Amino acid sequence: MRTPRAMSLWTWTYPSRWFKAAAVVVCLFLALHYTFRTPASQIHLDSDRIETARHDDVCRAVGWSPFTQKPGRPPRKVYDLMMVNTELDLLEIRMNSSWDEVDYFVLVESAVTFTGLDKPLNLKANMATLTPYESKIIYHEIEYPPNFEAKTPWTREDLQRNSMLTQVFPRLEGNQAPTAGDVIVVSDVDEMPRPETLTLLRSCIFPRRLTLGSRFYYYSFQNLHRGAEWAHPQATYYAGRWTVKPNDLRVHDGFFLARWWQSATLRNASWHCSSCFGTIDELLVKMKSFVHSGLNAEEFRDRDRIVDRVRRGKDLWDRVGEEFDRVENNTDVPRFLREYPERFPYLTNRDGASAGFSDYERT
């Protein structure tokens, strides 16, 4: 048996053998990964199948194992964590449509944009309109450490996203307190998991870094983005201090082997409705907060231009590859929107002179 010193001399004397041995280990790891992980890393959610499946068959429908809570622990909970700005209609649609599947909606907002500009706390000011949902709402205004300095907008965004976990969960008590294994979904408010997805997450043992792929809509559910799904929201499970932080989930940060081995995607698991606003003012607020300040140039803020682009389903910024297909009479929308389309007409139809914006009058 070689001693540590002998091993050191061996690797120094025979470097090619050392590299060959390392290559064999890496190849073996890759083979195991692709043999056992690839089939499960891209899973398509069949919502009709999940909805009609018996409880024991829900997980098997996507190749997962059922989750069994340990004796003496409370039932598994689902926390829906989201950052909110002005999208109060989408927030209500999301909470109403997934009410039966979510235990707590963790809603956070900041008095500062990612770029450091002051902004109003719209959610806090309008909380009274969400009274029917207050029993499940956990609201938090983001706090900044003393002498906090954001060297880049990304630093501030990291803090804001992570606050959904780091500033909220340590303070939860009683029934709201998390238990190991509880489901955590992290997203922006316009990235909405399907109820069937949430049922699946509560019922099953799922990968620690799970992307809930979204059908990607722009301006309304009338314009479906061409190409790949939107790669958000994300889901994980509570593990105390070892819980994966929201921003790490979103940008796939952390130790690369852990990211690789623990990651998977559940396709067709959510809806993403980007820039789906009822007023031009809301859209202008979003532009102002962009980390990429070039997208807030004056030419893009022209109201007549905005209405024209939205009505015709064209990208506001003329970006290459950003194209949409018109979907008329779309029924693949959140349940609350499907049941009450008259409350949110701009979310299903952008036709007409105003493109559905309530604050637009052509001069």
C-alpha dihedral sign at 288, 293, 294, 297: positive
Q: Where are the domains of the chain?
A: 45-274, 280-347
User: Residue type at 195?
Assistant: P
Whole-angstrom distance between the N-terminal and C-terminal Cα of the chain?
88
CA–CA separation, 57 and 66 (whole Å) = 9
Q: What is the pLDDT of residue 39?
A: 40
Tell me the pTM: 0.86
Q: What is the pLDDT of residue 288?
A: 82
CA–CA separation, 236 and 245 (whole Å) = 9
Which strand (E) or helix (H) includes residue 235? strand 234-237
CA–CA separation, 204 and 210 (whole Å) = 12
Q: The tokens 């790669």 sit on which residue? A: 231
CB 238 within 8 A of CB 182: yes
Q: What is the pLDDT of residue 259?
A: 59
Collapse the DSSP code of 83 into the 3-class scheme (helix H, G, I; strand E, B; otherwise coil) and give the result: strand
Q: The tokens 């997962």 sit on which residue? A: 64
Residue 341: φ, ψ to 5°: -65, -25
CATH 3.90.550 holds for 45-274: yes
Q: What is the pLDDT of residue 9?
A: 46
Q: Can you give the pLDDT of all 363 residues of the chain as single tens digits?
A: 545 455 454 444 555 665 565 555 555 554 444 444 444 467 777 766 666 566 668 898 888 999 998 888 999 999 999 999 989 999 999 999 999 999 999 999 999 888 788 889 999 999 999 999 999 999 999 999 988 888 887 888 899 999 999 999 999 999 999 999 999 999 999 999 999 999 999 999 999 999 999 999 999 999 999 999 999 999 999 999 999 999 999 987 655 566 566 789 999 999 999 999 999 999 998 888 776 667 888 889 999 999 999 999 999 999 988 999 999 999 999 999 999 999 999 999 999 999 999 999 876
CA 219 from centre of chain: 18
Which residues are 42's β-sheet partners?
Answer: 265
Q: What is the pLDDT of residue 17?
A: 61
Judged by phi (left if over 0) then psi (alpha if -120 to 50, else beta), residue 361 lies in beta
Q: How large is the C-alpha radius of gyration of the chain?
A: 23
